[in-house]
Amino acid sequence: MLKVINPGIYSSVQDQGRFGFAHIGVPVSGCMDQVAANFANCILGNSLKDAVLEFTFGLAKLEFLSPTIICISGAACAPKLNAASVAMNTPISIQEKDVLSFGTVSEGIRTYLAVKNGFQTEIKLASKSQYQHITTSASIQKNDLLYFEAFTKPLTHSNAKLKLDLSRFSQNELPCFEGPEFYLLSKQQKQLLLHTSFTISNDANRMGYRLNKEISNQLTPIVTSSVLPGTVQLTPSGRIIILMKDCQVTGGYPRILQLTKEAIAVLSQKHTNQQISFKSVDFFNSSITY
């Protein structure tokens, strides 16, 4: 079991998401940077479906009430165990009463904590991902107790190694496919969309990222249609919105692009005033997966 001493700015339990409930208006949710979360689970030999903790901007403090093994991945946040610095992206043995703390992030914005065999928190609609009105709370709170199975076996050494590509934190290009309404754009609009750097506004969260630069838009709104994480919408004002993991399930703005899974993970580690650009990939001839 783990006790939350300080939850940080915005921290929540997340897994791979809540699928199959869009027809009743329930968002997918799940880890914003699924690549980093998967890496932490892989290091521990967990299932990729196991729930982890997602921290935004670090600054959290946690006390372990049971022994386990953990792995920290994602944004670098100067983690410390009992005031001593510990490495990220590697297994760490935890004893009862150990205190883990995160400093401020230095690269990226979202950090992931995995425990051996995952967090055993409430399951709602086939997922442990926290979301307002679905789970008891939308985020973890001070003094919360988060359950996991105690694990007392010592760390074993192996010659097998996993390496996380840290260059993704400096990557600015977002691979994407053409969206259903991409064909409605003029040649000039398409050129601007795919050959322009956009700046992330201060309106960026788990629901979506709004970009600052505008593209002249005379398109009429579409009939409300399905959207999903990674859908890029063009608003009547010409502003672009990229939907993220807690987005709504339908929308009436033209869906001009669709980010790949990898692109969603890259974008999730970007913050206000950073620049991104879109890189079109062929859906049928690409090894990149959605």
Of the ranges 61-75, 167-181, 210-224, 263-277, which one carries the lowest mean pLDDT score? 210-224
Q: Return mean pLDDT, the chain.
A: 93
- Name the residue with higher pLDDT: 285 or 95: 95
Domain boundaries, the chain: 2-166, 171-280
Residue 54 has pLDDT above 80, yes or no: yes
Torsion-angle region of residue 89: left (phi > 0), alpha (psi -120 to 50) or beta?
Answer: left
Residue 284 has pLDDT above 70, yes or no: no
Query: Residue 280's pLDDT is what?
Result: 92
Query: Residue 286's pLDDT is what?
Result: 54
Q: What's the CATH class of domain 171-280?
A: mainly beta
Residue 133 sits at the vertex; the CA angle it makes with 129 and 138, to the nearest 5 degrees, is: 50
| Amino acid present at 33 | D
Query: Residue 290's pLDDT is what?
Result: 39
**pLDDT, tens digit, for every residue of 114-143?**
999 999 999 999 999 999 999 999 999 999
| Amino acid present at 282 | D
Nearest to 264 by CA among 222, 230, 228: 230
